[in-house]
Amino acid sequence: QVQLVESGGGLVQAGGSLRLSCAASGRTFSNYAMAWFRQAPGKEREFVTAIKWSGSSTYYADSVKGRFTMSRDNAKNTVYLQMNSLKPEDTAAYYCAAGRLYPVTDPRQYDYWGQGTQVTVSS
């Protein structure tokens, strides 16, 4: 079992930045690929980015490529999502997830999920 807790969400103006964190506990964190998804009201959960268990490779959705950066610190059991040049369409609840495969964009392939943190970008 892996427990995931996200933090760092909030309200920011368009063009601004936020950094999300996801702290993991439980089973060996470094065995898992990690990902961020987001979900806006009335929409399906959307893949944002994933990172390999070692941190040596990342994969991004086209909508965030060049603006978002995912990283991980296995010593701290934490993954991060640095979000720059935020746009109103980035507004959503952001979730981190842990899974065995990489890179995977299908949320059904992930085994563990956090409770989410809200990001709101005002225009």
Length of the chain: 123
Given this model, what pLDDT does residue 40 score? 97
Write out pLDDT tens, residues 49-100: 999 999 999 999 999 999 999 999 999 999 999 999 999 999 999 999 999 9
8 Å CB contact between 39 and 72: no
C-beta of residue 12 within 8 angstroms of C-beta of residue 122: yes
